[in-house]
């Protein structure tokens, strides 16, 4: 009798184990995102949700919020980054980041990506590991490094606002005289072209309609009038 009991018990347990494995595999196949990666802590496997998926979801919400509000600035920057295959990806994420930083310091949203394009081809050519896309703090004494691209844009925006724009340097031509005084004028011409391209969201029109941009135009301080631009250029 004992042998018969043990035999039936073993069959019952084995069948239950097999059914549990099948059910578990079926659940995984229906919900693979719940098991996107795992980490080991003291020999115990902890299952977590992918951080990248969470961040992308939140970033997409931010991007949609801007578009729903009728604010195309993040899209314009995202298009600019994608047009030149910038390593600043996801493009929509950095479109939102750059606009938020520009608004924080009340500067033209086009200025940071335009300078980044001129200085590093939108972060393609930078000192290794520096995340320094804007040529900011790069000189013969060394290179200023940052922990990420966002920190670089944040610091550059703060400095440009305090030591350039607030001191009356409100065009690329005027910024150039302090930012890169050795330039023969090509720096400002390039920055103006990239800003014009973003203004029209069009590469060809950017070249055709390039002017010395008035950097208060898309801020709370400026109207963007021709009179204001001329006054700024004559300072």
Tokens 């919020």 appear where?
A: 65
Residue 217 is assigned to a structural domain of this protein: yes
Residues in the chain where the model's pLDDT stays below 70: 1-61, 137-143, 222-235
122 located within any domain: yes
Structure tokens at 217: 């135009």
In a domain, 189, yes or no: yes
Q: What is the pLDDT of residue 69?
A: 76
Supply the pLDDT for residue 9: 52
Structural domain total, the chain: 1
Helix, strand or coil, per DSSP, at residue 216 = coil
Burial 163-190 (b: 16+ CB within 10 A, else e): ebbeeebbbbbbbbeebeeeeeeebbbb
Asked if residue 157 belongs to a domain, the reply is: yes
Give me the pLDDT at residue 143, please.
Answer: 66
Q: Is residue 222 part of a domain?
A: yes
Please answer whether residues 15 and 22 qualify as being in contact, where contact means their C-beta atoms are separated by less than 8 angstroms. no
Residue 77 lies in a domain: yes
This prediction has a pTM of 0.68
Cα atoms in the Cβ-side hemisphere of radius 13 Å centred on 8? 4
Question: 67: domain range?
Answer: 51-233
For residue 120, being part of any structural domain is answered with yes
- The residue length of the chain stands at 235
User: Is 16 among the domain residues?
Assistant: no
pLDDT at 204: 95
């Amino acid at each position: 009798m004992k042998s018969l009991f043990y035999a039936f018990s073993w069959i019952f347990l084995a069948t239950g184990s097999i059914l549990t494995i099948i059910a578990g595999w079926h659940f995984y196949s229906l919900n693979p995102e719940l098991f996107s990666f795992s980490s080991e802590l003291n020999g115990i496997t902890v299952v977590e949700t992918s951080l990248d998926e969470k961040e992308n979801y939140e970033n997409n919400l931010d991007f949609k919020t801007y578009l729903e509000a009728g604010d195309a600035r993040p899209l314009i920057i995202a298009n600019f980054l994608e047009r030149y295959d910038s390593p600043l990806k996801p493009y929509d994420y950095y479109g939102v980041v750059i606009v938020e930083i520009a608004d924080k310091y009340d500067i033209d949203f086009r200025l940071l990506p335009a300078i980044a394009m001129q200085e590093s081809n939108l972060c393609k050519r930078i000192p290794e590991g520096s995340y320094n896309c804007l040529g900011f703090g790069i000189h013969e004494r060394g290179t200023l490094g940052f922990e990420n691209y966002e920190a670089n844009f944040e610091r550059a925006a703060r400095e440009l606002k305090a030591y350039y724009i607030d001191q009356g340097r409100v065009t690329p031509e005027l910024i150039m005289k302090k930012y890169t005084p050795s330039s023969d004028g090509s720096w400002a011409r390039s920055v103006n072209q990239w800003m014009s391209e973003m203004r029209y969201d069009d590469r060809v029109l950017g070249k055709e309609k390039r002017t010395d941009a008035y950097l208060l135009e898309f801020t709370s301080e400026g109207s963007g009038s021709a009179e204001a631009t001329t006054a700024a250029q004559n300072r």
